[in-house]
Amino acid sequence: MKPIVKYGIVGFSRNQFDKKAARDILQEEFQKIKEKHTEETIEIVSGYTNSGVPKIAYELADEFGFVTVGFSAKQALRVRSGVYPVKKKIIIGNRFGDESEDFIRYIDVLIRVGGGKQSRHETALFKNLHDHKSMDEIVKEFEVDWFGN
């Protein structure tokens, strides 16, 4: 069995942002991931919802042949957009945010594309957990325009 490398993707979960810019960023990052990890199984781990950055990450992961993992709280099962048909589900807690600590422990690398309070909180938690490592290899942060209120 091939070793598994887990990339956590966080960012806006609502749709009022520059989706083209986010897709372009993730497309480029996923190409690098594919080239870097030729001998590993690649998991793309995000918030399970079928909207925003998680949806873009999952769609691209499917195109690249990566394993999609929905990591969220039970609240994701009730969102209007529904959940993405991921290959693996991990549900922890009831409300969004309940899963944050477990999420950052599960992943090996974090990519943030925009995002609000929870995305930035999870990024800070991940950096704190891995403060003994070089951030250049395990954290990538990108900003995209937000069009909402």
The domain spans of the chain are 4-142
Please enumerate, as own/partner, the contacts of 98-104 that have beta carbons within 8 Å and a separation of 24 or more: 98/73, 99/71, 99/72, 99/73, 100/125, 101/125, 102/71, 103/8, 103/45, 103/71, 104/8, 104/129
Predicted confidence band at 15 (pLDDT cuts at 50, 70, 90)? confident
* Token couple for 131: 């403060």
- What is the tens place of the pLDDT at every residue in 71-120? 999 999 998 899 999 999 999 999 999 999 999 999 999 999 999 899 99
Query: What does the alpha-carbon distance between residue 146 and residue 11 come to, in Å, rounded to a whole number?
Result: 11
Over the stretch 59-82, which tens digit does the pLDDT of each residue have?
999 999 999 999 999 999 998 899
Q: Is the pTM of this model over 0.85?
A: yes
Residue with tokens 């589900």: 89
- The pLDDT, as a whole number, for residue 14 is 84
Work out the angle between the directed axes of helices 19-36 and 52-64 (0-180°, nearest 10): 40
Q: Please state whether beta strands 67-72 and 41-46 pair in parallel, antiparallel, or not at all (unpaired).
A: parallel
Q: What is the pLDDT of residue 7?
A: 99
The pLDDT tens digits for 23-73 are: 999 999 999 999 999 999 999 999 999 999 999 999 999 999 999 999 999
* Topology adopted by domain 4-142: Rossmann fold (3.40.50)
Task: Give the dihedral of Cα atoms 86, 28, 35, 50; nearest 10 deg.
Answer: 0
**Mean per-residue pLDDT, 133-137:** 91
CA dihedral (25, 120, 4, 65) positive or negative: negative
What percent of the chain is predicted at pLDDT more than 90? 87
Taking alpha carbons only, the member of 6, 10, 30, 9 closest to residue 106 is 6
